[in-house]
Amino acid sequence: MNNFLSEEEKRELLIIARKSLEYYFSGSSIELNRSGRLGEQHGMFVTLKKSGVLRGCIGYIRGYKPLSEQAYELARKSAFEDPRFPSVQEEELEDIEIEISVLTPFEIIAPEDIIIGEHGLYIVSGTNSGLLLPQVATEWGFDREKFLDALCEKAWLPKDFWRNGDYKLYAFKAIIFSERG
């Protein structure tokens, strides 16, 4: 999966996401490349950071549209629809860094098989669910137990629910790239 997207394709997705934000304010439009791998459908998240601090993150756990369309749409959703943050303002754009995570298909995993920094996690219990990208564990210095606790909290479950609750736990990997390089 690491070589799934070329450096050029990664750059193109980042440019699409950036232009999506810039064009939101100007009312311009962009012609999206839906050819080759950019036309494939995979789960994707677009994360926005300002001065290294989370400013928005929205994604699809499964691909519903070509990657190029998702980059365009999710950049806007991250900037203007993440309920945790006020909408990004035009004057903030130059300070916003875009990061894109393209996901592999999900696979059932046991808690003891989780590899920190490699696996992202998705938990489902009844109507509750939560997802954490692979980079969350390393960015926050989580070990396996803390990663699972944080995942449960994200799903609105008791933080130690993974120890003996009724749930399904899935792992995935991600190709992660950003404007930072």
Q: How many residues does the chain have?
A: 181
CA 59/CA 61 separation, integer angstroms: 6
* Cβ atoms < 10 Å from Cβ of 59: 19
pLDDT over 60 (residue 104): yes
Task: Check residues 31 and 178 and name the one with the higher pLDDT.
Answer: 178
pLDDT over 60 (residue 151): yes
Phi, psi for residue 166 in degrees, rounded to 5: -95, 105
Instruction: Write the pLDDT tens digit of every residue in 54-78.
Output: 999 999 999 999 999 999 999 999 9
Q: What is 107-174's CATH number?
A: 3.30.1490.150
The DSSP annotation for 114-137 comes to --TTT-EEEEEETTEEEEE-HHHH
Tell me, rounded to whole angstroms, the distance of Cα 79 from its chain centroid: 13
- Cβ-based burial of 39 (10 A; exposed 0-12, middle 13-18, buried ≥19): middle
* Domain ranges, ordered by start, for the chain: 7-103, 107-174
Q: Of all residues in the chain, what percent carry a pLDDT higher than 70?
A: 98
Residue 28 confidence (pLDDT): 84
The mean predicted confidence, pLDDT, of the chain is 93
119, 109 Cβ separation under 8 angstroms: yes
Q: Which two tokens stand for residue 107?
A: 């696979």
Instruction: Write the pLDDT tens digit of every residue in 1-47.
Output: 556 899 999 999 999 999 999 999 988 888 888 888 899 999 999 99
Q: Of all residues in the chain, what percent carry a pLDDT higher than 90?
A: 86
* Max CA separation in the chain (angstroms): 52
Q: What is 7-103's CATH number?
A: 3.30.700.20
